[in-house]
Structure 1
Amino acid sequence: REKYNPDGSRLRCLQLGMLEILKYIDKVCSENNISYWLSSGTCLGAVRHGGFIPWDDDVDIEMLRPDYEKLLRVLSHTEGDYCLQTNSNDPYFIYDFGKLRNPKIAFDESLPLAKYYTHKGVFVDIFKLEESNSEKLHYICGRLRTLEFHILNWSASRCKFLVKPAMMLHKWNDVLFSLIRLLDRIGNKDRLRHTLGVTFTKARSYKDIFPLRRVRFENVDLPIPNSYDNYLSKMYGDYNKIVIGPSHLIVSDNCD
């Protein structure tokens, strides 16, 4: 890690800020009997690096939809250093998942729409999984969400007054997705996917995830899928192969 992301670099300081949010989420979930696990690149980092992938700049966790809804209820009534961001409490946040942010640690989000967010700061992404039968339906919904995403960001880059009319597409998509979700659950057999609208469409399996196990992540033990090899292999193939490219070059400026 020191080669790509030395102590004191801006990225490392952001990672440590995310780690504190992650510890807080783990504490809240433990106290409220909520199951969650490190997902995607964060799970990969835990298994392959014992912590963050050195050049990673985000944290992803997953949970089943009922646990997600319970966690949001708990976090919405919790006071402290962190703030919950969802498409319900932040009108310009259009994603179909939540973020828990620390507003005291700045995080540069280059998307034009982000400048209108109510909540800002370094964050952890919180994804919900639900039963799903059709990857095609998820692909279509993901493309619709991507289209509105580009339209909204184009509007935000021109004039804020253009954003509100563009938000109508987002609202119509929400109604459409609610209807599609009913179809998507028909005939499901052990398949879980991110909620409709998230562009990642690959299925997860109950039997790969549960029961959860804990592994070391930086300086704390956190939950990951029990059959993490199956989970990661389905997502990344040979996940132990490390490829370093230009996108992984880190500017090691100081935290300040």
Structure 2
Amino acid sequence: MGAKRNVSLSTFDAFKHVKVDSDLIRVEGDVLHRLQRVLLMMLKDFDALCSQEGLTYTLGGGSCLGAVRHHGFIPWDDDLDVNMSRESFDKLCKVFASRPSTKYILQAPGDSGYELGFGRIRLRNTTLKTRDDFDETECGVYIDIFIIENAPSSPVARFFHGVVSQALGFRYSCRRFFEHKDTYLALAGDDDNFAHIIRVKSGIGHLFSRKTTSQCCLDWDKWNSKYSDKNTGFITIPVGRKHYFGELLAKEKYFPASSGTFEDMLVPLPHSADTYLKGLYGPEYMEVPPADDRESHVVYEIDFGPYA
């Protein structure tokens, strides 16, 4: 009998533990330290812009965990995540549209050549090409911006909003796997279970091939932002690692922001960072994981340009 296959179609963990081959670079050692220094510079610029424009954000994901557990970057972490309300993110898009920056570019869901469900601020004149970059024109070092959405206070309405969000997110994901099947299979290498999941999702994605990946992403983004009642008691981050229901929180647990230390910065964190982090990483989030369980990324190309 063959090996039992995992029935889950999630590829998040698999992509975090891709094995390095001759075409890939693992970000570690001096390269990692330089990347973290550039990301910290970008965060300071982002924080200053938000202060100037009256925009609110918090650190999110592993960056929030780093602030709480390490008071800075998780030592092996090679990216930076922030969470931003839909209202602030829309204002940020207007700022970049009205005053184009010579240093940064903002990418948002639905933008031409950009296929992700969250935003990214990229540093011009640098390169950080990952499995997400299929447009050669803009793939600089980036900060991920995850959009915080309002969720209905009514359990029935919230369930409907969440189920449709997760269905549209799954459609988008499968459509993307269909479009880039060969790239993802190359990353899977000799991991048969990972390759099986890619083929299944790609097959489902073929059913939706009349729409482009960007169109599927934009449909998802529009649905996520559909509930706009600011007085609701709940928020969620549908494009986060745990999707709509896994990222659902009582609004009072997230806002107003608290503060913490990140390297040499004072940064905004979720109001109850403990509640937020337990939801993402479990009750033992303060324990440092063994080396084999640590998340990391592999990249195709990295160049810090004038920031080396």
Q: Name the counterpart of 1:194.
A: 237
Q: 1:13 to 1:167 in 2, by over 3 A?
A: farther
Residue identity in the other structure for 1:215: G
* Cα distance in 2, alignment partners of residues 49 and 180 from structure 1: 32
Q: 1:244 to 1:108 in 2, by over 3 A?
A: farther
SS in 2 for 1:107: strand
Residue identity in the other structure for 2:171: L
SS in 2 for 1:216: strand
* Cα distance in 2, alignment partners of residues 176 and 235 from structure 1: 22
Question: 5+ residue gaps in structure 1?
Answer: 158-164
SS in 2 for 1:100: strand
* Cα distance in 2, alignment partners of residues 86 and 195 from structure 1: 15
Aligned-residue Cα RMSD (Å) equals: 3.3
Q: Could you list the per-position Cα deviations for residues 101-140 of structure 1 after superposition, in whole angstroms to 9, with x for gaps in the alignment?
A: 11333213135xx242431111001111112223433322
Moved more, 132-141 or 34-43: 132-141
- Kindly state the Cα deviation for residue 239 of structure 1 after the two structures are TM-superposed: 0.9
TM-score using structure 1 length:
0.79
Residue 171 of structure 2 contacts residue 216 of structure 2 at CA under 8 Å; is this kept in 1?
no
Residue 142 of structure 1 contacts residue 197 of structure 1 at CA under 8 Å; is this kept in 2?
no
Q: Could you list the per-position Cα deviations for residues 32-70 of structure 1 after superposition, in whole angstroms to 9, with x for gaps in the alignment?
A: 111110011110000000011111111111111111100
Mapping of 1:1-256 within 5 angstroms? 9-76=30-97, 77-89=99-111, 91-111=112-132, 114-132=133-151, 133-134=158-159, 135-154=162-181, 166=209, 168-170=211-213, 171=215, 174-175=218-219, 178=222, 182=226, 190-195=233-238, 200-201=243-244, 202=246, 203-237=248-282, 238-246=284-292, 248=294
Residue identity in the other structure for 2:174: L
* Cα distance in 1, alignment partners of residues 63 and 240 from structure 2: 21
Question: 5+ residue gaps in structure 2?
Answer: 1-26, 152-157, 185-207
SS in 1 for 2:82: strand
Q: 1:241 to 1:249 in 2, by over 3 A?
A: closer
* Cα distance in 2, alignment partners of residues 173 and 59 from structure 1: 22
Q: 1:173 to 1:229 in 2, by over 3 A?
A: closer
* Cα distance in 1, alignment partners of residues 31 and 76 from structure 2: 11
* Cα distance in 2, alignment partners of residues 215 and 99 from structure 1: 23
Residue 35 of structure 1 contacts residue 63 of structure 1 at CA under 8 Å; is this kept in 2?
yes
Residue 63 of structure 1 contacts residue 127 of structure 1 at CA under 8 Å; is this kept in 2?
yes
Q: 1:107 to 1:99 in 2, by over 3 A?
A: same
* Cα distance in 2, alignment partners of residues 68 and 119 from structure 1: 20
- Kindly state the Cα deviation for residue 87 of structure 1 after the two structures are TM-superposed: 3.7
Q: 1:199 to 1:154 in 2, by over 3 A?
A: farther
- Kindly state the Cα deviation for residue 100 of structure 1 after the two structures are TM-superposed: 0.5
* Cα distance in 2, alignment partners of residues 55 and 212 from structure 1: 26
SS in 1 for 2:180: helix
Q: 1:131 to 1:220 in 2, by over 3 A?
A: same
Q: 1:173 to 1:74 in 2, by over 3 A?
A: closer
- Kindly state the Cα deviation for residue 156 of structure 1 after the two structures are TM-superposed: 7.3
TM-score using structure 2 length:
0.67
Q: Could you list the per-position Cα deviations for residues 197-249 of structure 1 after superposition, in whole angstroms to 9, with x for gaps in the alignment?
A: 98623213311122212211011111101211111112211211221233649
- Kindly state the Cα deviation for residue 167 of structure 1 after the two structures are TM-superposed: 7.4
Moved more, 21-30 or 71-80: 71-80
* Cα distance in 1, alignment partners of residues 269 and 94 from structure 2: 23
- Kindly state the Cα deviation for residue 145 of structure 1 after the two structures are TM-superposed: 1.6
* Cα distance in 2, alignment partners of residues 46 and 96 from structure 1: 25
Moved more, 191-200 or 58-67: 191-200
Residue 68 of structure 1 contacts residue 128 of structure 1 at CA under 8 Å; is this kept in 2?
yes
**Percent pairwise identity:** 27
